[in-house]
Amino acid sequence: MSKKQRIFYLDFIRVIAILLVIFIHASAIDTTKNIGTGQWQITKILNYFAHISVPLFFMISGTLLLNSKKTTSLSYTWKQRVPRVVIPFVLWSVISPIVVGIYVHSLSLHNVLTSVKNMLHQPTSPTLWFMYPLIGIYILSPIIKTFVQNATTEMLLYVTGIWLVTCSLLPSIAVMLPKNLAAILQLSPIANFFLVGGFTGYFILGYVLTRLHAEKTNSWWLILVFLIFGFAGNFISEAVPQIFDANNGYYVTSIFIPIMSVPAFILLQKWGSTIRNNFTVKTFEFLSPLVFGVYLIHNLLILYIEPFFMSHLPIQGIIATFIRYFAILILSIFIIWILNLIPGLNYLLTGNLHKRK
């Protein structure tokens, strides 16, 4: 695969991933209303399938960073890569409590400073949780790169296997067992597998899939695996709701999401690599640099857009969900596009280095 094709399929996956992230958050309120109805079930399934989005982002990062020779450079990592995620994170961590304070009519300097003061401990906006593992992985990336470039394929499969079993399979089985038996499969915190734990597993997995040339896998088998584990995961999430804990750990600890994410990544890679239409290519290339900024801003827009549409839209159900979704999506893209036209501000708020033309 040529460099141009490779870059485009990652742009393609990145844009698809942000579309899914926004749907998760835009439809979240609808998964708590009219429970048991047909429209609720459709929304719930779509929302669950969209949870491949966060793993896709980490797998894209792994594909890019672990295939780059620059990643072993500590100087490049700390001067170029880490600031491009840390600076926007810090600024949006300040902006978020201000916007929320305005929304709830209780904006005060004290509340903002308290949120910012505690930002190392907890995010100032719920969706900013994603930045904590991302920044950690960027910092660890030179170490991980040194390992993967010297590791055999067998060793890489061994590492991802450890991650999948200890961080995902065992917790998934444990949560489905009766309470008096759950502790049997719970590893002691002393025995944690931190370096191959959490979202680091997705990061390595993205690299492994490119190294294995997984795009050669039959598409129908990939679709079948994706659908089976998606519907199974959705069913389990209804039957055993505790599999969805409060701190987004289910992206790892629910075995269904990692297994769904693998065929999803490969399928999107295959489809993205076959796109030749110039308009489609240009559209995704335009949107891709905006994705990080869209992620950082979209949840703040939901604060205002969601109650407005729910109060004024004459229709309800899945159609209303998608109307709200597209309004949030379009406005997020438009605002970040404007910010990217402003030199300096584009770097501070979105991590982009150059003015978009």
260 pLDDT more than 60 = yes
Task: Tell me the C-alpha distance between 93 and 87, whole Å.
Answer: 10
| R_g over Cα of the chain | 21
Q: Which residue has the higher pLDDT, 33 or 334?
A: 334
Is 175 a residue whose pLDDT tops 70?
yes
d(CA 43, CA 39): 6
The domain containing residue 192 runs over which residues? 3-350
Contact 292, 351 (CB under 8 A): yes
Q: Which residues lie closer than 8 Å to 279 by C-beta, 6 or more apart?
A: none
pLDDT mean across residues, the chain = 89
pLDDT in tens, 119-143: 888 898 989 999 999 999 999 999 9
* 121 or 55, higher pLDDT: 55
Q: Which of 73-82, 181-190, 308-317 has the highest mean pLDDT?
A: 73-82
pLDDT at residue 189, rounded to an integer: 62
In a domain, 218, yes or no: yes
Rounded mean pLDDT, 158-186 = 83
Distance of alpha carbon 92 from alpha carbon 293, whole angstroms: 10
Average pLDDT of the segment spanning 11-26: 97
312: exposed, middle or buried (Cβ count in 10 Å: 0-12, 13-18, 19+) = exposed
Q: What is the mean pLDDT of residues 10-38?
A: 92
**Number of domains comprising the chain:** 1
Q: What is the DSSP code string of 266-286?
A: HHHHHHHHH---HHHHHHHHH
Q: 205 in a domain, yes or no?
A: yes
48 belongs to a structural domain: yes
Task: Enumerate residues 6+ apart whose C-beta is below 8 A from 151.
Answer: 159
Give the pLDDT band of residue 1 (cuts 50, 70, 90): very low
Task: Supply 44's token pair.
Answer: 């719930």
In single-letter form, the type of residue at position 343 comes to P
Mean pLDDT of 137-151: 95
Task: State what percent of residues in the chain have pLDDT above 70.
Answer: 93
Alpha carbon distance 206, 65 (integer Å): 10
Composition of the chain by helix, strand, coil, percent to 5: 80, 0, 20
pLDDT, tens digit, for every residue of 322-357? 999 999 999 999 999 999 999 999 999 999 876 544
Query: Is a pLDDT exceeding 50 seen at residue 300?
Result: yes
Q: Do 87 and 51 meet the contact criterion of CB atoms below 8 Å apart?
A: no
| Residues 183 and 170 sit within 8 Å (Cβ to Cβ) | no
Which comes out higher in pLDDT, residue 188 or 158?
Answer: 158
Is the pTM higher than 0.85? The answer reads yes
Q: Which helix (H) or strand (E) element contains residue 234? A: helix 219-239
Query: What is the distance between the alpha carbons of residues 197 and 261, in angstroms, rounded to a whole number?
Result: 16
Written as one letter, the residue type at 151 is: A
CA 239, CA 230: separation in Å to the nearest integer? 14
Q: Does 186 fall in a domain?
A: yes
Least confident of 37-46, 209-218, 348-357: 348-357
Quick check: is 356 in a domain? no
Tell me the three state secondary structure of residue 62.
helix
> Confidence class of residue 155 from pLDDT cuts 50, 70 and 90?
very high
Q: Which amino acid appears at position 98 of this protein?
A: I
Q: Tell whether 357 is covered by a domain.
A: no
Q: Report the Cα 97 to chain-centroid distance in Å.
A: 22
Given phi > 0 = left and psi -120 to 50 = alpha, else beta, which region is 188? Answer: beta
pLDDT over 70 at 309, yes or no: yes
Percent of the residues in the chain that have a pLDDT greater than 90, as a whole number: 64
Q: What is the pLDDT of residue 83?
A: 96
In a domain, 355, yes or no: no
Better pLDDT: 193 or 102 = 102
Which element (helix H / strand E) includes 44? helix 38-49
The pLDDT, as a whole number, for residue 207 is 95
Q: Judge whether 171 and 230 are in contact, CB under 8 Å.
A: no
Q: Are 124 and 116 in contact (CB under 8 A)?
A: yes
**DSSP line for 64-96:** HHTT-GGGG-HHHIIIIIHHHHHHHHHHHHHHH
pLDDT of residue 113: 87
